[in-house]
Structure 1
Amino acid sequence: MLIGVPKEIKNNEYRIGLTPAGARELVTNGHSVLVQHDGGKGIGLVDEMYVRAGAQIVDSAAELFQRADMIIKVKEPQPVECAMLRPGQVLYTYLHLAPDPEQTKALVASGATCIAYETVTDRKGGLPLLAPMSEVAGRMSIQAGAHALEKAQGGSGMLLGGVPGVKPAEVLVIGGGVVGINAARIAMGMSARVTVVDRSLDRLKYLDELYGDRLTTIYSTHDAIEERLPETDLVIGAVLIPGAAAPKLIARSQLKLMRAGSVLVDVAIDQGGCFETSKATTHQDPTYEVDGIIHYCVANMPGGVARTSTFALTNATLPFAVQLANKGARQALLDDEHLLNGLNVHDGKVTYKAVADVLGYEYVPAAKALG
């Protein structure tokens, strides 16, 4: 199989879909790899490293998309990239289709086979290709929130960990999954007072056993969240419904309950965000203010630490990429139910129910769509 790895073109996105080590694995398995010129340069993965791994360098995305049987990316394809996809071609990347009707329409029109990292599953019911970036985003959410709390950034001027004689900041983490537990861990490490709300009693019990009285756990209800807002300095939105749009858990009317200069960090923004006032931002212009509350809603948050994120992501995605290349996409998907769960669009059909439901498409089960 001929595999293409384009340079990412989203704002301030320096990650790349395959490392030189990954390219070598695919070449060793008998495949050819095309990498766009300077695709990994921003994080120190220069063209010469890919050439030594056995890959070929191409100058343009147009050539790469035209020649490759499978495209491996990081972020969802931008409109110009969607237009270059063709029937039968495989796209393997993050998609986050539920809040993005235009991208979904373009992928359906392309006829390509589109596999979303964020809906591939594992035997434990986890999301193994989403987890590495969730770990990064959870940890980054606290440092981003701490920075936004600084007065020069529009925040209240609160130091997250306080100092002797001055109380630390109150951090509310909504969601106790991979993002939430990583956010809580870093916030506690910075000596903040941390509360995690979640609807899974098993998860709350696990967190309580893990951290004891260093962490407060509360069962998540609208009342429970609202009651915490007046005393909270930093809220981390860490709620995920796999493949579906994120629920709106803080309404605009509730912002008035918070102190001016408090901060909301919406890690669920790729799935539409879990605050009513959320809108996607970029690393170039990461924050905005609504009713005195600072919002940080960067849609590719792990791209801010692109080198760490690239290695963490490709460690997880490479084994599936090898399966897809060795067996061909159709057979690889049919042989592995967990990889099959990643199929969102195939041959003009929407094959992931949550996406079909929210965007109004006919749902065609993935196995049926593959024929």
Structure 2
Amino acid sequence: MEIGVPKEIKDQEFRVGLTPDSVRTLTQGGHRVFIETQAGLGAGFTDGDYQAAGGAIVPGAGQAWGRDMVVKVKEPLAAEYDRLHPGQLLFTYLHLAADRPLTEALLDKGVTAIAYETVELPDGRLPLLTPMSIIAGRLSVQFGARFLERQQGGRGVLLGGVPGVRPGQVVILGGGVVGTEAARIAVGLGAQVKILDINVDRLAYLETLFGSRVELLYNTPQTLEHAVPDADLLVGAVLVPGRRAPILVSRQLVAQMRPGSVLVDVAVDQGGCIETLHATSHTQPTYVEEGVVHYGVPNMPGAVPWTATQALNHCTLPYVLKLAQQGVDALADHPALALGLNTHKHQLIHPAVREMFPRLAAPLV
């Protein structure tokens, strides 16, 4: 199979769909891989690295997109819609529940689109979302600590505090992978940490990880009303696979936070769980609303592309190999991949996305 790897064009997105090691594995399996020139440069991989691995460097995006399968990191942007073509396999993060224009473009072009974030194992784990969730969770506190600095518009709070001065208060909404990793970093910095979740079993598991170092609370409207105004850093870490994240924090509640507090919503690529937060970019990562600093970069792991690209490829490569060997037929043999299918032959397939866009969801045939 011919596989294309275009350069990412999202703002400050330096990750790349395949590493040279992945390209070597694919070419040794008899596949041809076409990498747009300098696609991997931001992650530390040169054109020479890809050529040494057996890949072919192509001078333009069109020559990478015009292949049987395209492997990316982030969803196609509007400028790339014309590069989609019927029957093409697209394997990348999509987050369609929060992106109707892309959903319509994929349906119109007849693309077979498989989303990393909806590939699901029998036990419910999301193997291709997990590595980026780990990174985003850890970065959420790293960035939050930065924007709490006075020079960055924050309150001037040191999350770890010092002897005689209380540490910063970190409130995390959601105790999944993102929330767990956010707590891990916040605890390491010495902050006071609360995690709110509605899954009692998950809270019990988190107690085995953190013991008394983290306050674990069942999430109710009343719990939110007490916890959010006290937060120096509020981290949104809510995930509903394939669906838009629910709004948990209202504008009214944000307005009760102290001026210069910081919000970081890792769920922003699925619409976000905080009413006042909208997507930003690495170039302009924050804005102030209701006196609170809002950070809503949807591609947070793009800030650490050397680490993130390799972590992602360790998980995606086995699935890329299956698709390269069998094409769409791989879905019949691999149920996890089949659950990742979002669009195919002008039809909307994934149940959660069909529920989100019922007018686009024609009867399945």
Tell me if both proteins adopt one fold, taking TM over 0.5 as the criterion: yes
Q: Which residue pairs with 2:309 in the alignment? A: 310
Residue equivalent to 2:196? 197
AA of the residue aligned to 1:50:
Y
Alignment-derived partner of residue 24 in structure 2 = 24
Q: 1:364 to 1:122 in 2, by over 3 A?
A: farther
Matching residue of 2:76: 77
Give secondary structure in 2 for the equivalent of 1:284: coil
Q: Which segment drifts farther, 74-83 or 352-361?
A: 352-361
CA distance in 2, matches of 1:160, 1:218: 21
**What does residue range 158-307 of structure 1 map to in structure 2 within 5 Å?**
158-307=157-306
Letter in 2 for 1:193: Q
Query: How far, CA to CA, are the matches of 1:292 and 1:89 in structure 2?
Result: 46
Q: Give the corresponding residue for 1:156.
A: 155
2:76 equivalent to 1:64: no
Letter aligned with residue 191 of structure 2: A
- Contact map agreement 2:247 2:274 (CA 8 A) in 1: yes
**Whole-Å Cα distance in 1 between the matches of residues 53 and 362 of structure 2?**
39
Q: What is the DSSP-based 3-state SS (H/G/I as helix, E as strand, rest coil) of the residue aligned with 1:195?
A: strand
In the alignment, what sits opposite 2:133?
A: 134
Amino acid corresponding to residue 350 of structure 1 in structure 2: L
3-state SS of 1:123 partner: coil
Q: 2:330 aligned to 332, 338, 351, which one? A: 332
Q: 1:364 to 1:206 in 2, by over 3 A?
A: farther
Mapped partners of 1:251, 1:279: distance in 2 = 13
Q: Retained in 1: the 8 A contact 2:229–2:253?
A: no
Which segment is superposed worse, 139-148 or 220-229? 220-229
Q: Which amino acid aligns with 2:59?
A: D
- Aligned partners of 1:98 and 1:229: how far apart in 2? 27
Give the SS at the match of 1:33: strand
Using the TM superposition, give the Cα deviation of residue 278 of structure 1 relative to its aligned residue in structure 2, in angstroms: 1.1
Q: Does 1:344 align with 2:345?
A: no
Are the counterparts in 1 of residues 90 and 111 from structure 2 also a CA contact under 8 Å? yes
Deviation per CA, 1:3-51: give whole Å up to 9, x if none: 0000001100010000000001111111100000010011220011111
Q: Distance in 1 between matches of 2:275 and 2:112?
A: 33
Q: Which amino acid aligns with 1:15?
A: R
Structure 2: which amino acid aligns with 1:235? L
Distance in 1, matches of 2:119 and 2:308, equals: 18
State the shift of 1:211 in Å: 1.2
Q: List alignment gaps of at least 5 residues for structure 1.
A: none
For 2:352, which of 341, 351, 354 is the aligned residue? Answer: 354
Is the contact made by 1:351 and 1:364 (CA closer than 8 Å) also made in structure 2?
A: no
Give the structure 2 partner of residue 119 of structure 1.
Answer: 118
Aligned residue for 2:80, secondary structure, equals: helix
Alpha-carbon shift at residue 363 of structure 1 (Å): 4.1
Find runs of 4+ consecutive structure 1 residues off by over 6 angstroms: none
- Please tell me the residue identity of whatever aligns with 2:26: L
Structure 1 counterpart of 2:72, one-letter code? K
Q: What's the counterpart of residue 86 of structure 1?
A: 85
Report the equivalent of 1:9. 9
One-letter code aligned to 1:217 = L
- Percent sequence identity is 50
Residue identity matched to 1:118: E
- Which ranges in structure 2 are unaligned for 5 or more consecutive residues? none
Q: Compute the displacement of 1:356 (Å).
A: 1.4
Asked whether the 8 Å contact 1:98–1:245 carries over to 2, the reply is yes
Native 8 Å contact 1:349 1:363 kept in 2? yes
Letter in 2 for 1:349: Q
User: What's the offset of the Cα at 1:83?
Assistant: 1.3
Q: The residue matched to 1:15 in structure 2 has which SS?
A: coil
Aligned to 1:40: 40
Checking the alignment, whether the CA contact within 8 Å between 2:24 and 2:55 is kept in structure 1 is: yes
* Shift of residue 331, structure 1, vs aligned partner: 1.0
1:295/1:269 Cα in 2 relative to 1: closer, same or farther (>3 Å)? same
Distance across 1 between alignment mates of 2:76 and 2:230: 40
Q: Are the equivalent residues in 2 in contact too, given 1:99–1:271 (CA < 8 A)?
A: yes
TM-score of the superposed pair, with normalisation by structure 1? 0.96
Q: Is the 8 A contact 1:353 1:363 kept in 2?
A: no
Structure 1 residue 362: Cα displacement: 5.0
| Shift in Å, 1:361 | 3.6
| Cα pair 2:229 2:254 within 8 Å, conserved | no
In 1: Cα distance, 2:361 partner to 2:121 partner: 23
SS in 2 for 1:98: helix
Alpha-carbon deviation of 1:54?
0.6
